[in-house]
Amino acid sequence: MGFLQDKDKEHIRSMFKDLTGEVKLILFTQEIECQYCRETRQILEEVSELSDKIKLDVYNFVTDKAIAEKYNVDKIPATVIEGTKDFGIRYYGIPSGYEFSSLLEDIVDVSKGDSGLSEQSKALLKEINTPLRLQVFVTPTCPYCPRAVRLAHKMAMENEYITGDMVEATEFPHLSVKYNVRGVPRTMIGEDVPIEGALPENEFVKRVVEAFKHMNN
């Protein structure tokens, strides 16, 4: 049975009419010892069938190790959304529930090559000039999580030094423990600075830039 119903497909097709450039969905997976790898592949296959501008590449996390390393993918299931280049957008875990909307909106942004951030945010982000990883811990049932995920991904699009990871907390419990995730969304700026909850764009960007400056003093 398919993940998407016919009415969902129609809605997504109309959304994908806005696609301008090619988008590549890159999935890293394996057959065994991977919760939700099969379901993630099914979701991406069904989505990629809804526009001729979307291509799906599937790699084995173990046997295609060199490709996984190229994208700095260190856990699975992992999805990369690539446009004219790799913007640093990552999904670790299944992009289902509320996060499915994040996936679709990211595809549209990447196709257009535009983060959609405000001019003020774009100017602030120019201050980040060395690699910075944002990890947004989520669960599929969290209605506030997509805002944080989308902001992290928009920031990754805007600044080549930023990588934005969605991390599905229940699929990676060791990371949830490591980063003290008690509620979602919880965004880790680098290894040590957390943001709790979903903030408005200007506040989120400001907090990330301030944390970056503090970390690099």
What confidence tens digit (pLDDT) does each residue in 93-151 have? 999 999 999 999 999 999 999 999 999 999 999 999 999 999 999 999 999 999 999 99
Structure confidence by residue, pLDDT tens digits, 31-48 = 888 989 999 999 999 999
56 CB neighbour count, 10 Å cutoff:
17
- Spatial distance between the Cα atoms of 151 and 119, rounded to a whole number of angstroms: 14
Specify the 3-state DSSP secondary structure of 89: strand
**Domains contained in the chain, CATH given:** 1-114 (3.40.30.10), 117-217 (3.40.30.10)
Listed in sequence order, the residues at least 6 apart from 80 whose beta carbon sits closer than 8 Å to its beta carbon are: 24, 25, 26, 28, 71, 73, 86, 89, 90
Q: Under DSSP, is residue 108 helix (H, G, I), strand (E, B) or coil?
A: helix
Distance, CA of 66 to CA of 30 (rounded, Å) = 15
Confidence at residue 1, expressed as pLDDT on a 0 to 100 scale: 65
- Does the pLDDT at position 50 exceed 80? yes
Query: At how many degrees (to 10) do helices 99-112 and 6-16 cross?
Result: 30
Peptide bond into 185 cis (omega under 30): yes
Range 164-184 average pLDDT: 98
